[in-house]
Every structure is written in C-alpha cells, then in structure tokens.
C-alpha cells in the first residue's frame, strides 16, 4: 500500500459520479475554502477550482468514471491522484455517509498524507487495454455458447461430438437435422451456432486491430514477451497492456503481489494469523500468468519435469502456482533489462550481473533472476 504524502497549497477531494461530483477544497491549514455539488462538466470544474489553481492537487476514487477527470487534469497541468477505493476504508466504513462527507474525507486523507493511491494508466494506451479486456468478454461468451450446445447434446443422451466446436469448420460439418429430431431443439442449437459465427468474426477483427496497434505502441516489449515458450500474441498483449511500465514496480515482490502470484501473510505478536490479498491486484495478470504456465508445460519437457517434482510435494494446483510465479519473476526481469527469454537461465536460475541493454524497456536495472522456491 502506497500513500500520497506530497505537500501542496490546496487539496481537492472529489466524490465523483456519472452526472454529478461533490468538490471539497482545503487549504494548507485544513480549512474548507470550497464545498459544493456540481455537474460533471469540464468547464464547470475548471471554473470552480480557478481561484485555487496555484499548487492544487485533485483526487477521486478509482471508480468507473475517473478517465475524463484524469485526462482533464493532465491537459491543464494539474496534479491528479487516483485514490485506491479498496484501501480507502475511512470512506466506506463510516457511520454516516453521503457525497458531501465523502468528498471532505478524501480531501483530508489527501492533506494528511494518508490517502492510498493507485496507478493512473495514461491516455492513449488505456483505451487499447480496455479494448483487450472487451475481447476477453467476447471469448467468455463464446465459451458459454459452446458449453450450451454440448450440454443440450448431453440432455438428450446423444453421442458426444467427435470434434471441437471451437473451430468453425467443425461446426459447419455438424448435421443438426440428423442429430436433433425435435424442431425446437434444432432452432435452439441454430441460434447458438449463429451467435458463435458472429462472435468469431468480431474476435478475429479485434485481434487483428490489437496486433497492429501494439506494433506501433510498444513493439520491443511485445516481441520480448513473444519469446517465452507458450506465450502467443494474445497472452503477450494481455501481459503488456496490463503491466504497461514495469518500472512502476520497485522490485519483484511488488510486481508478483500486483499480479496475485503471491499472497502476503498477516502477522500479529510474531504469529501468523492468516493470509490476505487474494482479491487485491490485477485479475487479468493472474489469469495470463496461469495460462502461460499451463502452455509452458505443454511445450517444454523441462517444465513437465519441474511440475512433476513440485506436484509430488505440493499438489498440482500449488505446483502450477509456483511455475506461474517463476514466470512472473522472469517477465519482470525481461522487461526491466530489455532481454528476450533465456531458457537456460530460467531453469537453472543462474545469477546475472548488470545488463548492457540500451534504450527502451531495458534502461532500468533490476535484481537477478531468482529461482522460485517454496
């Protein structure tokens, strides 16, 4: 958890909604100089803060409608802080709660240096990241349709499909008239297959757009991630756009925690009282590294041997988690150094001195590639 503790002359807390925002501005001494409910219009916002623009910091919670405010502050050269909504318990845990109270609490947390903040994803790449997440939504809907076709086939105790319905050619070869005798059941399956064809077309179109875009935005890092065995264009895109700038993580531990690859322990009086943080972090990175670990096992004999050793000791689920964490450490160092995947270093865990990589993602130095241990 990180706290924003930079001093300013004025502190603006905003309880932001889709159509309204409650502004509370404090001066350096903690006195309220402005406290009013306003519509979410850029001109109205700029007019309200105009008398306090000199050394002003603006903050709101990281809810769904913060994009426009962050972009406006960036364009106007106003310091913007994105509050981490999950950590701001002083807001959600209050006895009395309304927009006016919340905006003042945000401003006072900001002034006191007690406001936990998140990463403000920059404009330009943020839109591509959201499009990539939308593509994942379409993939899930596609999987639901395929599951419904298979379950319908099972309901009537019919022979299983000989080929995977995920492929359009196999669906075209499916003879619905012979397999399903009832007309309503056939109509039900025809609806699913028509939706599958439409979603396939949409997914192919968005994937083509994303691969073209990444070659303009971040080509070097994209090709580095593609060098990992089992990581294809989609996993590389997810890793790249969810991480964005690897240098925002001070060390491997912060990155692994953000990717949900490790769980922090809760201690009290020198005793472990539980674990936390299982739902804190980036769920998309957790999925991507889990998929990458499974695909690495498919295409690497060394990965199969590694998984077998860990599975005997920890079980299959934890063994895959260990492999995913190992991949996370590797990706961190690859992007910090600007180096491609090295299988020998990955499996042997050999230490590495300072990198001689030049510009781009390899400018920042990182620690050595450590072996994943339990």
What is the C-alpha to C-alpha distance for residues 237 and 239, in angstroms, rounded to an integer? Answer: 6
Q: Which of 117, 98, 1, 101 is nearest to 58 (CA)?
A: 117
Pair of tokens at residue 204: 């192919």
The last residue of a domain, from among 116, 138, 156? 116
**What pLDDT score does 134 carry?**
96
Residues 55 and 140 in one domain: no
Contacts of 204 (CB under 8 A, 6+ apart): none
Question: Which range among 263-267, 348-352, 365-369 has the greatest average pLDDT?
Answer: 263-267
Q: Which of 44-53, 90-99, 251-260, 312-321 has the lowest mean pLDDT?
A: 90-99
Of the two residues 222 and 90, the one the predictor is more confident about is 222
Q: Are residues 53 and 146 in the same domain?
A: no
Contact 32, 108 (CB under 8 A): no
Give Cα 210 distance to the centre of its chain: 17
Domain final residue, candidates 116, 149, 174: 116
Q: How many domains does the chain have?
A: 3
Residue-wise pLDDT tens digits, 286-301: 999 999 999 999 988 9
Predicted confidence (pLDDT) at residue 348 exceeds the cutoff of 70? yes
- Whether pLDDT at 279 is above 80: no
Domain boundary pick from 96, 116, 136 = 116
What token pair was written down for 273?
């009282």
For 118-152, what is each residue's pLDDT tens digit? 999 999 899 999 999 999 999 999 999 999 999 99
Quote the Cα angle for 91-76-18, to 5°.
Answer: 40
Q: How do 79-83 and 56-61 pair as beta strands?
A: parallel
Alpha-carbon distance of 123 to 327, in angstroms, equals: 28
Same domain for 234 and 331, yes or no, is yes
Which of 20-29, 81-90, 307-316 has the least mean pLDDT? 81-90
Whether 365 shows a pLDDT value over 70: the answer reads no
CA distance 59 to 62: 9
Neighbour-count burial for 268-287, b at 16+ CB within 10 Å, e otherwise: eeeeeeeeeeeebbeebbbb
Same domain (yes/no): 241, 329: yes
Mean pLDDT, the chain, whole residue set: 88
Please indicate, yes or no, whether residues 25 and 152 belong to a single structural domain of this protein.
no
Shared-domain flag, residues 232 and 352: yes
Query: What is the span of the domain harbouring residue 281?
Result: 224-362
Indicate whether 239 pLDDT > 70.
yes
SS3 content of the chain, % helix, strand, coil (to 5): 55, 15, 35
pLDDT of amino acid 235: 94
Q: Quick one: average pLDDT of 252-260? A: 93
At residue 366, the pLDDT reads 37
Check pLDDT > 60 for residue 370: no
Do 10 and 71 lie in one domain? The reply is yes
- Can you list the alpha helix ranges (DSSP code H) found in 156-182? 168-172, 176-179
Do 250 and 336 lie in a common domain?
A: yes
pLDDT tens per residue, range 40-95:
999 999 999 999 999 999 999 998 899 999 999 999 999 999 999 888 876 767 67
Measure the CA–CA gap between 185 and 187, rounded to whole angstroms. 5
DSSP E strand boundaries for 289-329: none
Residues 210 and 171 in one domain: yes
Same domain flag for 241 and 339: yes
Answer whether residue 368 is part of any domain.
no
Model confidence over 155-192: pLDDT tens digits? 999 999 988 999 989 988 888 888 998 999 999 999 99
Instruction: For residue 274, list its beta bridge partners.
Output: 266
pLDDT above 90: percentage of residues in the chain: 74
CA angle 262–296–261, rounded 5-degree value: 5
Confidence bin at 349 (pLDDT 50/70/90): low
Q: Is residue 367 part of a domain?
A: no
Do 268 and 207 lie in one domain? The reply is: no
Q: What is the pLDDT of residue 252?
A: 92
Report long-range pairs for 248-251 (Cβ below 8 Å, ≥24 apart): 248/119, 249/332, 251/367
Question: Quick check: 206 pLDDT over 90?
Answer: yes
Is residue 160 domain-resident?
Answer: yes
The pLDDT of 268-274, averaged and rounded, is: 81
Distance CA 80, CA 68 (A): 12
How many other C-beta atoms can be found within 10 angstroms of the C-beta atom of residue 339? 19
For residue 374, being part of any structural domain is answered with no
With respect to residue 369, please indicate whether it lies within any of the assigned structural domains: no
pLDDT of 98 above 60:
yes
CA quadruple 221, 222, 226, 231: dihedral sign: positive
Whether residue 211 sits in one domain with residue 180: yes
- The token pair at 357 is 């990589």
Distance CA 206, CA 213 (A): 10
Residue 14, domain member (yes or no) = yes
């Amino acid at each position: 958890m990180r706290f924003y503790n930079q001093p300013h002359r004025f502190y603006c807390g905003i309880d932001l909604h889709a159509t309204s925002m409650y502004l509370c501005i404090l001066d350096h001494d903690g006195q309220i100089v402005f406290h009013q409910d306003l519509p979410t219009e850029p001109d109205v916002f700029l007019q309200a803060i105009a008398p306090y623009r000199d050394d002003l910091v603006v903050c709101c919670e990281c809810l769904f409608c913060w994009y426009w405010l962050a972009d406006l502050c960036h364009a106007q050269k106003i310091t913007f802080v994105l509050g981490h909504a999950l950590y701001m318990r002083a807001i959600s845990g209050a006895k009395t709660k309304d927009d006016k109270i919340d905006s003042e609490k945000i401003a006072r947390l900001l002034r006191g240096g007690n406001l936990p903040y998140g990463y403000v994803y920059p404009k330009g790449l943020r839109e591509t990241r959201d499009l990539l997440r939308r593509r994942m939504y379409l993939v899930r809907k596609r999987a639901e349709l395929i599951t419904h076709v298979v379950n319908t086939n099972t309901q009537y105790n019919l022979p299983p499909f000989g080929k995977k319905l995920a492929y359009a050619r196999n669906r075209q070869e499916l003879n619905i008239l012979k397999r399903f005798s009832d007309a309503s059941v056939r109509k039900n399956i025809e609806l699913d297959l028509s939706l599958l064809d439409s979603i396939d077309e949409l997914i192919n179109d968005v994937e083509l757009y994303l691969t073209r875009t990444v070659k303009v935005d971040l080509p070097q890092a994209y090709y580095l991630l593609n060098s990992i065995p089992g990581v294809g264009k989609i996993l590389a895109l997810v890793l790249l756009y969810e991480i964005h700038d690897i240098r925002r993580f001070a060390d491997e531990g912060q990155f692994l925690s953000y990717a949900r690859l490790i769980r922090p322990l809760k201690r009290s009086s020198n005793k472990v009282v539980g674990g936390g943080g299982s739902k804190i972090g980036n769920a998309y990175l957790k999925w991507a590294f889990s998929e990458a670990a499974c695909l690495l096992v498919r295409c690497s004999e060394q990965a199969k041997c590694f998984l077998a050793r860990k599975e005997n000791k920890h079980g299959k689920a934890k063994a895959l988690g260990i492999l995913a964490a190992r991949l996370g450490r590797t990706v961190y160092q690859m992007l910090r150094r600007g180096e491609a995947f090295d299988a020998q270093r990955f499996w042997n865990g050999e230490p590495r001195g300072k990198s001689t990589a030049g510009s781009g993602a390899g400018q920042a130095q990182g620690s050595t590639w450590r072996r994943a241990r339990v």
